[in-house]
């Protein structure tokens, strides 16, 4: 489950960071985006703790100083990690590279060409969500290990492990996300 959360975080962060305003540094940013993408896709292995922390820090700094073009460089790095993750899960490598790179290029292109594509309030909400999701993914391995230890200590007399989390936790989380999206859509009208 943590691998899927990591993939979701990488895809959403790549799109969110690519929608950041570029400004006058456009000519110097794209080579760094390509270098970050290729370096991450070829040499780095996506680990939940480091990727979650990276995304949370970049999103937090972008919320504080919104007029910088460097999140686009981070989008290349995160998209490269997503491509590496997709190919490690059995997706063809070339197709993973094309999908991940297309997400960054299309988002940056649309954000630069169309003023209404990624308004400031929507970018800020997405960056706040990336902070939260990044922290959840970064702390996921430690929390998962703690749950495993608690499950072992929570043995039932018949020899089985009693599960403390029910389906209601995931349904509540899904309902919260759906209601938040519905609220955002209503506010944009």
Q: What is the pLDDT of residues 76-108, one digit of tens each?
A: 889 999 998 999 889 999 999 999 999 988 988
Q: 131: which 2 tokens? A: 């902070």
Provide the pLDDT confidence category of residue 151 given band limits of 50, 70 and 90: low
Provide the pLDDT confidence category of residue 166 given band limits of 50, 70 and 90: low
pLDDT at 95: 93
Q: What is the value of pTM for the model shown?
A: 0.73
Strands (E) in the chain, as ranges, are: none
- Return all residues near 20 (Cβ < 8 A) that are at least 6 apart: 62, 66, 68, 69, 71, 72, 75, 111, 123
């Amino acid at each position: 489950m943590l691998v899927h959360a990591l993939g979701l975080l990488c895809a959403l962060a790549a799109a969110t960071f690519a929608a950041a305003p570029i400004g006058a540094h456009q000519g110097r940013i794209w080579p760094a985006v390509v270098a970050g993408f290729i370096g991450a896709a070829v040499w780095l292995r996506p680990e939940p703790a480091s990727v979650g922390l990276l995304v949370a820090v970049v999103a937090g700094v972008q919320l504080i100083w919104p007029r910088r073009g460097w999140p686009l460089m981070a989008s290349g790095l995160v998209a490269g990690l997503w491509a590496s993750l997709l190919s490690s899960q059995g997706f063809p490598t070339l197709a993973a590279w094309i999908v991940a790179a297309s997400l960054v290029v299309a988002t940056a292109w649309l954000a630069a060409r169309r003023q209404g594509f990624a308004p400031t309030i929507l970018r800020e909400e997405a960056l706040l969500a990336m902070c939260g999701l990044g922290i959840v993914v970064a702390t996921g391995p430690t929390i998962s290990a703690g749950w495993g230890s608690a499950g072992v200590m929570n043995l039932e007399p018949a020899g089985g492990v009693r599960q403390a989390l029910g389906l209601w936790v995931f349904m509540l989380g899904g309902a919260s996300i759906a209601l938040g999206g519905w609220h955002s859509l209503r506010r944009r009208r």
